[in-house]
Structure 1
């Protein structure tokens, strides 16, 4: 299987990618409250931000303490979250945080951050396996550090 992600020196990429990162950082840190304000601050359009926001993120170069945060949409069924946690831990991923909303219309939003320092498979492989769990409607990579 070919790797889904690449690490590329940002110097050779168009400025739009760094501006998307900057806009996301403004939102994450609370320096701005809305996307409109963030994109105006960095000088890009809302459409460009939405086009790339889920595909552009920074990676820390350090190997120790690497973390990944995933967002899930889960069916409100017994055992779905447990199956996710068991899969992550079975490959030596160490769960750091779990944030879960109350299910609405039988679907719950969940974000999980886990340490991948000792993980036994690639992040891409674990991502694929998580998508296959019954009751997982959606998995998105929020970020890696």
Structure 2
């Protein structure tokens, strides 16, 4: 089994950061070929190939929290928009929306949210959603 360590870049040789720079150039499309990327950052292709599959930068985005919330709402114009606006005001990002076709003017909605920047806890968010006009019910399915 592989072992992984989270270490400060201050203690790593410069070539490690240059491999990451080259990976970023390729990932963002600033260069399309490895030989261009390694030339831009000042390392050899051999060095790049030696480390490329073993180096992964740690980024804050990788530590995001996600929640799945289900809602039962009245099918009226603007209701979902009002709910999404309220969620955005709480610094949550909507990652996915799944809404059923309304039956008897009621629709089920499943929201997948990035709650990393939510000022409170997810239970408070669900409680707030339950109190909104035209929301019959709201429940938390999962949190990651």
Q: TM tier, shorter chain?
A: 0.5 to 0.7
SS of the equivalent of 1:104 reads coil
Q: Partner of 1:121 in structure 2? A: 120
User: Which contiguous aligned blocks of 4+ residues in structure 1 show a shift greater than 2 angstroms?
Assistant: none
SS of the equivalent of 2:80 reads helix
Calculate the aligned-residue CA RMSD, in Å. 1.3
Q: Deviations over 1:92-121 (max 9, x none)?
A: 001000000110111001100100111122
User: What are the ranges of 5 or more consecutive residues in structure 2 without an aligned counterpart?
Assistant: 1-61
Tell me which of the two structures has the higher relative contact order, counting C-alpha pairs closer than 8 angstroms and 6 or more residues apart: 1
Q: Partner of 1:110 in structure 2? A: 109
User: What are the ranges of 5 or more consecutive residues in structure 1 without an aligned counterpart?
Assistant: 1-62
SS of the equivalent of 1:126 reads helix
Larger Rg computed on CA atoms: 2
Q: Deviations over 1:72-103 (max 9, x none)?
A: 11101112111111111101001000000110
Describe how 1:10-21 pairs up with structure 2 within 5 A: none
Q: Partner of 2:131 in structure 1? A: 132
Structure 2 distance, partners of 1:83, 1:73, is: 14
Q: Please, what TM-score do these two structures have when normalized by structure 2? A: 0.55
